Amino acid sequence: EAQVTQNPRYLITVTGKKLTVTCSQNMNHEYMSWYRQDPGLGLRQIYYSMNVEVTDKGDVPEGYKVSRKEKRNFPLILESPSPNQTSLYFCASSFSGGNGYTFGSGTRLTVV
C-alpha cells in the first residue's frame, strides 16, 4: 500500500531532551515536507526537501532540523524541544512539487 509512515503517533517529552520523529514513504516521491498544525493557524511548513541532500526552510524552521540522506526518509529533529513546539506534526510527500501530497497520520507532540 502506498503510504507515508510517521513514528511515533504520540510523544510526551520534557524540555531540552532531543527527539526525532521519523517519516518514510514507499512511493519513490522526490518532494517531502514537514508541517505543524496549530488551532487557528492551519498548517505551517517547517522544512521541505526537493530531493536527496536538498532541503530548504519553510515558514517556521526555528528549533527544527531535517536531513534527507535517502529518498524515502525525511526525519524531523528537535535538538532542544520547548513547550511552544507542542503541536500536531505531519509529514507529506509528493512525486513532484505540483502533484499534491500524500500525508502521514500525524505525530502529536507534547513538550512539558
Residues making contact with another protein (CB under 8 A): 4, 33, 35, 40-45, 48, 50, 58, 90, 92, 97-98, 100-106
Q: 43 vs 77, which CB is nearer to another protein?
A: 43
Nearest one of 51, 43, 61 to 95, comparing CA atoms: 51
Radius of gyration for the chain, computed over Cα atoms and rounded to the nearest angstrom:
13
Q: Minimum Å distance from CB 72 to another protein?
A: 18
Quote the cell numbers at residue 87: 503541536
Q: 53 vs 79, which CB is nearer to another protein?
A: 53
Q: 6 vs 85, which CB is nearer to another protein?
A: 6
Residues 6+ apart with CB under 8 A from 109: 11, 12, 13, 19, 21, 81, 85, 86, 87, 88, 89
Q: Minimum Å distance from CB 18 to another protein?
A: 25
Q: Minimum Å distance from CB 90 to another protein?
A: 6
Q: 83 vs 97, which CB is nearer to another protein?
A: 97
Quote the cell numbers at residue 6: 510517521
